[in-house]
Amino acid sequence: MKTDILLTALEFANQGISVVPVATDGTKRPGIASWKQYQETRPTTAELMTWFADAQGVGVICGKVSGNLEMLELEGRAVADKMHLDLKEMAGNAGLGEVWDRINNGYVEMTPSGGIHWLYRIDGEVPGNTKLARKPGDEDKVEVLAETRGEGGFVIVAPTNGTCHPSGGAWTMLVGSAKSIPTLTVAERQGLHQLFATFDCVPKVEFVTEELAPKGVNLTPGDDYNAKVTWEQVLEPLGWKKVYTNKAGVTSWRRPGKSEGISATTNHAGNDKFFCFSSSTQFEPERSYSKFAIFTLVEHQGDFTASARALRSQGYGEARKELTSLEVHSPSLVQLHDEEGNIKESSWIPKEIGESELEEEEPPSMLRREDGNCLLYAGKINAIFGESESGKTWIALEAIRQELEKNNIVFYLDFEDSARSILNRLKTLRVKQDKFKMFRYANPDEPLGEGIGEIMRTQIMAYLPTLIVVDGVNAAMNLLGLDLEKNKDATHFSQKVLKPLRIGGAGILTIDHVTKSKDNRGNYAIGAQAKRADIDGAAFAVSVALPFGRGIDGALDITCTKDRPGFVRAICPDAKTVGVANLKSLPDGGIAVSISGGAVAISNADQRMEQVSKFLETHGYEMNFNDIKKRLRDEGIGMGSDMVRLALDTLVARGAVAVRQLGQKNLYAHKNTFIANDVQVWSPDATEPN
């Protein structure tokens, strides 16, 4: 038995930390077959005694299970570069010297590759694993300089040794033990991590894009200003304090009103840009600014044209040399420029058709019918509309259920209902609890403010939903102050709200209302014609064919009113009748939705008549109305009183059911078999049914 390994494991466990053994194959993984449960529940003493009887290494699991434990690591390559000494000096200059001393007097160990581990707890929630600083490596790889192990993360600790590491080296304790692990506030942790993040050297896409962008032939006022002024001249008059400049030339800054820590950096990776961490300034966090951009924001409220004009009047930039004749210049020299001299693109200028535009249209891939054909297009705007309580939302929810069952992400922008209502309906459709982690819901109650659209696009690219539902187009337009009847406003809504949602290739499904007057309804929803014109997928009208409710089966007719790609109309027998959505009430209170298609429905009432006829034939004896209604429901055939009565009266009239009066009650019995003929296979020569 390796006594030191066992005692270390027990010491960590006594401090409320989840401990597991380390694999001895050099993979640096837990040494037990299944360890996920120990991310939520700490092992028992008996388990520890069994595991560590002959173990070579100790591993701990970070996060909530271990009292909000987190590990901060500086890789060996960074230690060899003396980055820990730079961090010590930066911490002192940033007013974080006491925090730095606390973690260095708490728990510090060295890894076999020469890296440093700091263990500490946080007085708040622990995020997941995070890479704080990286640099470009050999063979197109990225080398990590500093990172954390957060919620659920696995860390190997001293005195682990032997074959637990590929080199055979050991983890060595430098300072402290499990008993001396310190606790940091969330703010202290954030300040500490920002120090490490200043050493990140991976070029950002936005910087490289800007550096590669063609410039105009003139030196613009903005470029001239960027080259001539210093960051001290720009930031110090605004109350910012310079904290520290590291050997890579990155300068850390502290915002006005703050006495410790850092709030921003300049010249990250040599880009000469200002990058702000804090959300408590006039600058957007996690965004870069040039000196000219800050001058424009502060002095001219973001108006770059006015800002450039003011700088030009102060002598910055060169006079623009205008082209005098298109005939003596190559067309490639005739370009649009912004005030900073950068070339601008315009959607007005005809361009060569790209390969993506030449690809064939994709058929619909969502909202599947029973025959396997789908109705909704990915990457396009689709629509469902109908009267109030026409069941249109149930169709949308069935599309959502199908996507969640495929483990796809779905976004729901709800302008009419509530999260509780939508989630309860999805539960009624038997969406499993674990699928809701893929469902993201928003209930907007404010105008689309500046920056919200960018955040939304970022969320879409992060999660890549396959379906985005916009429930309540009219309510959404009203929220944004747009007029439903004006084509200009309808086009604005499509351009600013709907089309940007397609950035990640998601199919958009809008839910809209029709007017109650069928005479004035037309083939789309309430409002301007532009609402329909902007649909580039398919649009469907939904109406009640058979009323439904709790415990009562129903049916909805679905009609295609627009199909720009043409795949949906191709599966409709008359180019418009999509089929019938059958809503089946289940004995446990749930609802099953199925969409039949490929045939034209004649009468849903006949289906009910066949059910009643078969029911009476099966039981073989007389029953009164109330008995029939009750037993139908007991057998899972949900049907309202009016429908049962209509079915019985019609069956009697057609000679399929016999009736005799006994006192004040009618007794019904089977007479002849009734078979519904409400669905006929369509053929080109068939006449349209009545």
Give pLDDT, residue 678. 39
For the chain, percent helix, then strand, then coil, each to nearest 5?
35, 25, 40
Cβ–Cβ contacts within 10 Å for residue 684, how many? 5
Q: How many residues does the chain have?
A: 690
Question: Taking Cα atoms as reference points, which of 288, 286, 287 lies closest to residue 267?
Answer: 288
CB 439 within 8 A of CB 412: yes
Per-residue pLDDT at 256 exceeds 60 = yes
Give pLDDT, residue 526. 47
- Please give the residue that has the higher pLDDT: either 557 or 137: 557
Give pLDDT, residue 525. 47
Question: Taking Cα atoms as reference points, which of 167, 36, 60, 162 lies closest to residue 109?
Answer: 60
**Average pLDDT, rounded, for the chain:** 83
pTM for this one?
A: 0.44
CB 353 within 8 A of CB 556: no
Annotate 321-335 with DSSP letters as a single string: -----GGGS-GGG--
Question: What domains appear along the chain, each with residue ranges and CATH number?
Answer: 3-197 (no CATH), 208-313 (no CATH), 366-600 (3.40.50.300), 604-679 (1.10.10.10)
Parallel/antiparallel/unpaired status of strands 554-563 and 439-442: unpaired
Please, what sign has the CA dihedral across residues 337, 450, 452, 222? positive
Q: At how many degrees (to 10) do helices 83-93 and 186-197 cross?
A: 130
Per-residue pLDDT at 4 exceeds 60 = yes
- Backbone dihedral region of 300: left (phi > 0), alpha (psi from -120 to 50 degrees) or beta? alpha
- What average pLDDT does the segment 167-172 reach? 91
- What average pLDDT does the segment 163-180 reach? 92
pLDDT in tens, 65-118: 999 999 999 999 999 989 899 899 888 888 888 999 999 999 999 999 999 999
Please, what sign has the CA dihedral across residues 648, 651, 653, 659? negative
Q: DSSP character for 497?
A: I
CA atoms within 13 A on the CB side of 671: 13
Per-residue pLDDT at 177 exceeds 90 = yes
CA atoms within 13 A on the CB side of 222: 23
Give pLDDT, residue 329. 39
- What average pLDDT does the segment 435-462 reach? 84
Q: DSSP character for 573?
A: T
What is the percent of the chain with per-residue pLDDT over 90, rounded to a whole number? 39
Cα-to-chain-centroid distance, residue 689 = 46
Q: What residue has token string 């790209």?
A: 354
Q: At how many degrees (to 10) do helices 291-300 and 304-313 cross?
A: 100
Parallel/antiparallel/unpaired status of strands 679-681 and 264-266: unpaired
Phi, psi of 306 (to 5 degrees): -65, -40
Supply the Cα-derived Rg of the chain in whole angstroms: 34
What is the percent of the chain with per-residue pLDDT over 70, rounded to a whole number? 86
Question: Taking Cα atoms as reference points, which of 60, 65, 20 lies closest to residue 41?
Answer: 65
Contacts of range 441-444, beta carbons closer than 8 Å, 24 or more positions apart? 441/411, 441/412, 441/414, 442/411, 442/412, 442/413, 442/414, 443/414, 443/415, 443/417, 443/418, 443/419, 444/413, 444/415, 444/476, 444/479
Give pLDDT, residue 336. 55
Give pLDDT, residue 349. 65
- What average pLDDT does the segment 460-464 reach? 85
Which residues neighbour 285 within 8 Å (Cβ) at sequence distance 6 or greater?
Answer: 276, 277, 278, 279
Question: Taking Cα atoms as reference points, which of 497, 487, 511, 326 lies closest to residue 415?
Answer: 511
Per-residue pLDDT at 260 exceeds 90 = no
Three-state SS for 227?
Answer: helix
Q: How confident is the model at residue 602 (pLDDT cuts 50, 70, 90)?
A: very low
Could you check whether the bond before residue 159 is cis, i.e. omega within 30 degrees of 0? yes
Quote the strand ranges of 323-428, DSSP E. 336-337, 343-344, 366-368, 374-376, 381-386, 410-414
Question: Taking Cα atoms as reference points, which of 60, 15, 48 lies closest to residue 157?
Answer: 60
Lowest-confidence pick of 283-297, 417-431, 440-454, 517-531: 517-531
The Cα–Cα gap between 189 and 194 comes to 9
- What average pLDDT does the segment 511-517 reach? 71
- Please give the residue that has the higher pLDDT: either 207 or 97: 97
Give pLDDT, residue 308. 84
Please, what sign has the CA dihedral across residues 234, 236, 239, 242? positive
Per-residue pLDDT at 358 exceeds 70 = no
- Please give the residue that has the higher pLDDT: either 605 or 375: 375
- What average pLDDT does the segment 462-477 reach? 90
Give pLDDT, residue 272. 87
CA atoms within 13 A on the CB side of 393: 21
CB 583 within 8 A of CB 595: no
Instruction: Count each helix (H run) and each strand (E run) in the chain, helices first.
Output: 22, 33
Give pLDDT, residue 687. 37
Phi, psi of 279 (to 5 degrees): -100, 5
- What average pLDDT does the segment 518-544 reach? 68
Amino acid making up residue 562: K
Give pLDDT, residue 71. 97
Question: Taking Cα atoms as reference points, which of 276, 229, 280, 225 lies closest to residue 252?
Answer: 276
CB 116 within 8 A of CB 175: no
Q: How confident is the model at residue 276 (pLDDT cuts 50, 70, 90)?
A: confident
Q: DSSP character for 37?
A: G
pLDDT in tens, 398-434: 999 999 999 999 999 999 889 999 999 999 999 999 8
Output b/e per residue, 80-104; b: 16+ Cβ within 10 A: ebebeebbbebbebbbbeebbebbb
Question: Taking Cα atoms as reference points, which of 573, 557, 510, 497 lies closest to residue 538?
Answer: 510
Give pLDDT, residue 427. 93
Q: How confident is the model at residue 689 (pLDDT cuts 50, 70, 90)?
A: very low
Question: Taking Cα atoms as reference points, which of 417, 370, 374 lies closest to residue 393?
Answer: 417
Per-residue pLDDT at 454 exceeds 90 = no
The Cα–Cα gap between 200 and 145 comes to 8
Lowest-confidence pick of 154-168, 378-392, 448-462, 559-573: 448-462
Give pLDDT, residue 486. 82
